[in-house]
Each structure stands twice: as C-alpha cells, then as structure tokens.
Structure 1
Amino acid sequence: MLFLGMLWYALDTEHRKTAEANIRLALRVSQEEARRLTRQNFQHLVRVFSEFPRMTRMSRENFRQFVDPRGEEHLMRSLKRGRGVLILTAHLGNWEWMAYCAPFFLPARLHIVARPLRPRILNQWVTTVRQRSGNRVIPKQRALLHALKALKRNEMVGFLLDQNAGKKTGIWAPFFGMEVLTHKTLAHIALRTGAPVHPVFNHRLADGRYQIDIGPEIPTPQHGTLNDKAAAFTAAFNRILEDQIRQYPDQWYWVHRRFRRFRAQRSF
C-alpha cells in the first residue's frame, strides 16, 4: 500500500493539490507538514479502497477480526424509545467496513444515505456489496422520504455529513475556524421526528482493524425558531466532525473539495 499510495501522490496532481490546500487551510500547518500528511492520507485511502472487496468475507461470526465496536449501549438505549436513530458520521477511517458490520452487532437495520457513483455499472456493484450484510443504501436525491419511513420502523439512518453542500441544500456552519455550507437534512429530520442523533466514527488500529466509537445522543437545541435550532444542531455536528478529524488527520477524505465555499466565521 505504501508504494501505491506514493504512486497516486506522485501522479494525481489535482487531488494532491486539493488535499494539501485543504490541510493547510483547516489545520494551519506549514507546506512541508501538509505534504507529509497528504502522503500519509493517500496511503491510507489506497488501503481503504483496496479493502472494499474484503467486506464480502465478513460475517456475524468473524466481524470482530475486522472491527472493534465500542459504545453499542448508547444506540440500544435510544432504539428502545421507538423513534429510530440518526447516525452522524464521516469519510473517516474505513467508513465502508464500519457500516457493513453494523447489522452483525446491532438489532436494527442501517440505511445509508449515499450519492450514486458513476458509471452506473460501478454504482450497481458497490451498492450490491454494501447491502450484502443487510444494510440499505438510500440515494441522496430521495433521502428525506426514505429516512422518515425507516425511522417510523425504528431503524437507523446514517449521514456522512462531511461533504460540500450547495446553497439550496446547505446551511452555513462553523468548521475549522471558518463557515462552510453543510447539509441541513440531518438536523431538520431530527427536529421534525424527535429521533436521537448519535455520533459514530472509526479509526484504524495498529493491528489493521478499525475501532468503531459510538457516542451518546447529541443534545437537541431547545431554544429559538426551527431555523435557529437547525443552525445550532448543524454547528454541533461540525464541532464533533472537526474533533474527530483533528484526532486522526491522516485518515480523513482530504481529497474532497470540502472548502470550495467558505467564509469568515461570524462572531457574536
């Protein structure tokens, strides 16, 4: 993986420049440090991509050879309330393994909101693999309706909230000392349904497995208008995302143009 990661770093100028620029902007590090982190990041992402087909080997009997889940009791407690559960996560660690193994240690189906891939034949193959363990993939364009139906069945819906949003689908929220457009769907669904939101992330361990950390419910804002609450909720989501990325900066998806739109953070 080291060789392939370095080869990707050397040949893919566009993504290398994007990652280095993102790292410098977010982490406020030197150019030299940004290059070092980018090289590590490319090596990590090559490993994640190469690990995708291995998911088909995972089962209820052997999944702990691949992941180490912790904090399941938080989700169990929320599922007992019968309103379903919303998952806040990101493209950190090996997000594919984390989602795939969820049915092996949790009692409710997981629905994953995802943007369809291109070409269509690749999307069909990836979706088939992702759903083999019992999960369901929700196309991003129909996320709201499918998510509401899943929550009514007391199931779980996962949102990877770390990608760039448009002006119609996003809300300005603090992230790494600036404001970025962040998808607002998760906050609005949570406020509309009363479903609890839990942070669930993972990171690679020295032995090659990934530790899955499931956190307690994120407190729901109680004051202001619906838009005020959605803004406060989304800001809280971004704070959690930022904290995770700072802990494992080499394991996030820096090659995405997350800071394509940003503005100075407002002070109150």
Structure 2
Amino acid sequence: MTSTKPPDRKRRNRRSRGKRFGDWLVYSIATGLLRIITALGPDRASNLGGRVARLIGPHLSVSNIARANLKMAFPQKSEEKREEILKGVWENLGRTACEYPHLDQLYDFEIEWMNPRRVEVTGIRNFQQMLWDGKPAIIFTAHLANWELPAVCAARHGLDMTILFRPPSNAFIADYVMNVRAGTMGRLLSRSRGAIMHVAASIERGDHLGLLVDQRFSRGLSVPFFQKSTPTNTTVARVARQFDCPVFGARCIRLPNNRFRLEVTDPIELPRDSDGRVDIAAATQAINKIIEGWIREYPEQWLWLHNRWDFNKKQLKKNRPKAEG
C-alpha cells in the first residue's frame, strides 16, 4: 500500500527524525564526556578543560566573532594583546564547561565562616538584605567566569528566586541541563514570549528574579554597549518600572588556584523619568555600563564568542588571523 502523506510532509518528518537522531547522538557523546569529567574531580577537570580549550579554541572559526568583538571594544590594544585575551576567553570557557558537573562541590561558602575556602563573597550584607527583608528584588548578572555560581549561591542559602534562562536547542541536552540546574539553582523559567507573565507572578509572590542580560536580544532596545548601540534585554528595567522593586548586580570573578569571588552590588539607583518611574531606556543603558565595567576589569573572563554586535560574514572575514587570511 502506498503512503497517502503529501511529499512535503514526508520530507519534514524525515528531517525531524534526522534532527532528533543527531541531537541524541550529540547528547550521548556529551554525557559520555561528562562522566569522564565527573570522575576527574573539580580541580583536575577544570585544569584539563582550560588547557585543551586554550590550545584548540583560537583556531576555530567562531573565534573570528570574538576577534571582531575585541577589536571593536578595545581598538587601542594591539592584535597580540587581543589574541592573548582570546586565549584566556577559551581557557575560561573550557574551565566553566568542565566545572559544570561539579557545581555542588565548587560552591563551599558559608556565611558564618570567617575564612573563605574555594569561594569568597563580597557584598554579603546586600545578599542578607534580600534574604531577610521579605521583599521582591531583581538580580542581573553576565557571562563572566563561572556564571552559574551566583544562582547556586542563591539556592544554597535559601533565597527564593526564579531564574530566567534560554534552554539549549538540543532537546536532550536541554532536559539534562534542566535536571542539573533544578537540583542546584532552584526554580527555572525558560525564556519565551509568555515568560513575562510568570515573571510578574513570581515578583507578586515576593520572589526574586535572576537573569543574564549581556547577550544580544533581537527584540530588545538598541542602547550603547562599549560605545556601539546593540539590541539589549530590557526585562530588568521593565519589571523594575512595573513593580518598583530594588535591583542588584551580581558577578563571578575567577581567581587563581581554582577559586572564585562572588560580588553582590548595593541596590542600584536606576534613572527615572519625570513621573518618578524607572526610565526603561536610561536604566537599560545604566545596566549595560555596569556590565561593561565588569568586562573591562577582567576581559578574558567574558564570553566574547557571542555575536553581541551582529557582525556579518564579510566583517568577520576581515578578522581572521593573518595566517588564515
């Protein structure tokens, strides 16, 4: 008996099955590697990941995005200096990836301890304010050092928080990531068009909202970042405007010997309009300025591999290393 399905539907079904198999294959390889990384322990895994990524990463084509970004952000730096930053970017990414199965072990900070071990925290009073005041707040962060640790910190110390995040496109890996994160980071909310309704409900309950805001957001507002305007996530400013709740910044800094410092800022005074409400454009620009300052301090610890300023192929081609040109 011949199939009655239209040819287009058949092709779509084949593509769908092919993609699902491809996703499963990538997931199987990734989980196999993660088992090895888990067996190594946090220090050896981080060191190995950093060395391998530093060696291989700069030769991958995606590094041309980072080169274009770095040249735009730091035109005064020499090409050699920018290449050194790029190597550090890859080392940090390799370390962060291999630290992923060890997040529970990495975070060892306790508020009552006077002498920090692997993790130290500055701005702990600001964290305690959020923990004890019973009020909602917004915490923004960026892809710096091991950017998962601020959320681990919040969950470990009992801060009610909803984490807004973008899941991986691979459905198998997305499920794995959700399971790992849910066990260490609390309540997770996938970024989607309907997510803002859940965010509003969370804030109304008195919860805290945590989110990364440093990547390109195509539906966002175009505001300056490193002196060049680019579409930017306005969720922090919009929620702060609607609920008039305090806003804090949090970042992770990678220290020598596989240690970390987490910093929680004081409440940030966001710009307001003539009616006394948070000005969305000015507030978003102020947040960009804070994140830019963090990146300038430790440029090798930020994820420059993301096409934040939407460079096209022709522009990226110009940033190939001279040996490739």
Give the structure-1-normalised TM-score: 0.87
Identity %: 28
Which residue number in structure 1 is paired with residue 226 of structure 2?
Answer: 176
CA separation of 1:72 and 1:228: change in aligned 2, threshold 3 A: closer
Is 1:87 matched with 2:139? yes
Tell me, which stretches of 5 or more residues in structure 2 are unaligned?
A: 1-47, 313-325
Q: Deviations over 1:125-174 (max 9, x none)?
A: 111111113511111104312221222222211121100011xx211212
Matching of residues 6-155 of structure 1 within 5 Å: 6-13=54-61, 15-28=62-75, 29-57=77-105, 65-78=117-130, 82-105=134-157, 107-141=158-192, 142-155=194-207
CA separation of 1:230 and 1:79: change in aligned 2, threshold 3 A: farther
Q: Deviations over 1:78-115 (max 9, x none)?
A: 4555441101110001011221232223x422221111
Secondary structure of the residue aligned to 2:163 is: strand
Q: Deviations over 1:235-264 (max 9, x none)?
A: 1100100000001100000000011179xx
Secondary structure of the residue aligned to 1:138 is: strand
Secondary structure of the residue aligned to 2:210 is: strand
CA separation of 1:31 and 1:102: change in aligned 2, threshold 3 A: same
C-alpha distance in structure 1 between counterparts of 2:274 and 2:175, whole Å: 43
Matching of residues 199-210 of structure 1 within 5 Å: 199-210=249-260
C-alpha distance in structure 2 between counterparts of 1:20 and 1:261, whole Å: 11
C-alpha distance in structure 2 between counterparts of 1:61 and 1:3, whole Å: 27
**Contact 2:141 2:250 (8 Å CA) reproduced:** yes
270, 274, 288: which one pairs with 1:220? 270
CA separation of 1:61 and 1:175: change in aligned 2, threshold 3 A: closer
C-alpha distance in structure 2 between counterparts of 1:203 and 1:58, whole Å: 13
C-alpha distance in structure 2 between counterparts of 1:61 and 1:223, whole Å: 40
1:58, CA displacement in angstroms? 5.7
CA RMSD of aligned residues (A): 2.5
| Paired letter, 1:111 | T
Q: Aligned pairs, how many? A: 258
| Paired letter, 2:177 | V
CA separation of 1:58 and 1:155: change in aligned 2, threshold 3 A: farther
C-alpha distance in structure 2 between counterparts of 1:47 and 1:83, whole Å: 35
Bigger RCO of structures 1 and 2 (CA < 8 A, at least 6 apart): 1
Give the structure-2-normalised TM-score: 0.73
**Contact 2:109 2:117 (8 Å CA) reproduced:** no
C-alpha distance in structure 2 between counterparts of 1:174 and 1:203, whole Å: 24
Secondary structure of the residue aligned to 1:204 is: strand
Structure having the larger proportion of residues in strand: 1
